[in-house]
């Protein structure tokens, strides 16, 4: 439980109302009850601002109220960001309460495990694994031989990390994700069969990365598949062998990146986008959902869409023209009729 005053200190807020009012949980603005904290950032929800029974409301410092509100207000520069900070603090407090090793588990005698870890039941930890401080491994996590997990990382239920992969600090990997499965490497043979190419590399995930549920990141054929610092991956994403994803890039659900492609920093990739192999995507690129990127994007900060993907602004103009095609066809026919009449008159004269 926290007072409005304590919360205000965490997010640098100005208090309007009772600073000693207590909240113990969070709620959506349309559902929040007494004793809960909520936030208001989207104008679409303004009506709920005046009817909510929440005890504390976070809102932007420049928002002008149209009606009085019973709740204590915490005014901040950005209500959405402040709410995210509070949720992170709340989650961190809950995580700190988890510590120790449940049973049954298998931990190799050669594994090195630091202090204050939490290892849930049915976890498997292979030979020479290294686990840092404050790591949380939930039920059914499997760590292959020579895996390294650095400080403050959380692996949720059923995460599988294959041998030799390295996970950095403050990483969150959600349930069912597989890190380090074999890349899709097969050499066609003269008789029509395929010879498997051994995948002997690994996956390196740097610090402050978050990976959604049921995502797969394949190990490199040789070398490393690399997910750089600050990357955020949604659920159900496929990252192929030897791919490199640059710092602070975000990729939405069901996107796929083919082998050996290099994605730059601060790239935004929409859901269900597909990127072919052996190309580069420049820093700051924006790839619209369901786009198919078939060649390198070399100019930084370019937005693309479509399949094959091309310049976003040009694509919008093309779409506008396509919508007008029936009207243009009608006008062309009218012009053809007029031209025919003029030619007919000229032939008579």
The pLDDT value given to residue 349: 66
Local structure of residue 283 (DSSP, 8 states): T
99 or 314, which is more confident = 99
Average pLDDT, the chain: 94
* Side-chain half-sphere exposure of 329, counting CA atoms within 13 A: 5
C-alpha separations of 136 from 2, 14, 96, 157, 214 in Å: 26, 36, 10, 10, 18
* Mean pLDDT on 230-243: 98
Residue 62, helix vs strand vs coil: coil
Place of tokens 């290099």: 262
The pLDDT value given to residue 233: 98
Q: pLDDT digits over 94-136, tens only?
A: 766 788 999 999 999 999 999 899 999 999 999 999 999 999 9
Q: Please state which of the four CATH numbers 3.30.530.20, 3.40.640.10, 3.90.550.10, 3.40.1390.10 is assigned to the domain occupying 2-96.
A: 3.40.1390.10
Structure tokens of 249? 């890039």
Runs of H (alpha helix) within 73-124: 79-96
Q: Please state which of the four CATH numbers 2.160.10.10, 3.40.1180.10, 3.90.1150.200, 3.40.50.300 is assigned to the domain occupying 100-313.
A: 2.160.10.10
Q: Which residues contact 105 (CB under 8 A, 6 or more apart)?
A: 119, 120, 121, 122, 123, 124, 125
CA dist., res. 344 & res. 337, Å (int): 10
Q: pLDDT digits over 135-171, tens only?
A: 999 999 999 999 999 999 999 999 999 999 999 999 9
Structure tokens of 184? 């899709």
DSSP 10-48: HHTPEEES-TT-EE-EE--TTT--TTEEEEE--GGGHHH
**Catalytic site residues?**
241
DSSP 223-259: SEEEE-TT-EE-SS-EE-TT-EE-TT-EE-TT-EE-T
Place of tokens 């020579």: 146
C-alpha separations of 23 from 15, 53, 93, 129, 320 in Å: 14, 12, 15, 42, 51
Length of the chain: 349
Q: pLDDT digits over 38-66, tens only?
A: 999 999 999 999 999 999 999 999 999 99
Residue 264, helix vs strand vs coil: coil
Cβ-count burial 139-158 (b if 16+ within 10 Å, e if not) = ebbbbbebbbbbbbbbbbbb
Runs of H (alpha helix) within 138-202: none
Q: In terms of DSSP bridges, do strands 310-311 and 303-305 run parallel, antiparallel, or are they unpaired?
A: antiparallel
The pLDDT value given to residue 101: 95
């Amino acid at each position: 439980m926290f007072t409005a005053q304590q919360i205000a200190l965490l997010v640098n807020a100005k208090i309007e109302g009772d600073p000693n009012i207590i909240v113990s949980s969070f709620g959506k603005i349309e559902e929040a009850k007494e004793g809960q904290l909520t936030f208001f950032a989207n104008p679409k929800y303004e009506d709920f601002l005046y009817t909510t029974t929440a005890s504390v409301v976070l809102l932007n410092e420049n928002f002008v109220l149209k009606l009085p509100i019973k709740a204590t207000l915490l005014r901040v520069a950005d209500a959405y960001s402040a709410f995210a900070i509070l949720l992170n603090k709340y989650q961190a407090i809950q995580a700190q309460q988890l510590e120790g090793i449940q049973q049954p588990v298998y931990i190799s005698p050669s594994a090195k495990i630091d202090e204050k870890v939490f290892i849930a039941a049915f976890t498997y930890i292979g030979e020479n694994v290294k686990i840092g401080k404050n790591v949380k491994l939930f039920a059914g996590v499997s760590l292959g031989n020579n895996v390294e997990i650095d400080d403050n990382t959380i692996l949720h239920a059923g995460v599988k990390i294959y041998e030799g992969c390295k996970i950095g600090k403050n990483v969150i990997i959600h349930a069912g994700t597989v890190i380090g499965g074999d890349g899709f490497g097969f050499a066609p043979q003269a008789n029509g069969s395929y010879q498997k190419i051994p995948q002997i590399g690994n996956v390196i995930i740097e610090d402050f990365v978050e990976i959604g549920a049921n995502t797969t990141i394949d190990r490199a054929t040789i070398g490393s598949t690399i997910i750089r610092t600050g990357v955020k991956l949604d659920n159900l994403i496929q990252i192929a062998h030897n791919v490199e994803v640059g710092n602070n890039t975000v990729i939405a659900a069901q996107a796929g990146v083919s082998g050996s492609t290099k994605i730059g920093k601060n790239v935004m990739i929409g859901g269900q986008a597909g990127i072919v192999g052996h190309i580069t995507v420049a820093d700051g690129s924006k790839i619209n959902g369901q786009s198919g990127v078939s060649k390198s994007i070399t100019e930084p900060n370019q937005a693309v869409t479509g399949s094959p993907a091309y310049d976003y602004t040009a694509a919008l103009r093309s779409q506008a023209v396509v919508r007008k095609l029936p009207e243009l066809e009608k006008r062309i026919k009218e012009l053809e009729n007029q031209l025919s009449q003029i030619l007919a008159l000229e032939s008579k004269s």
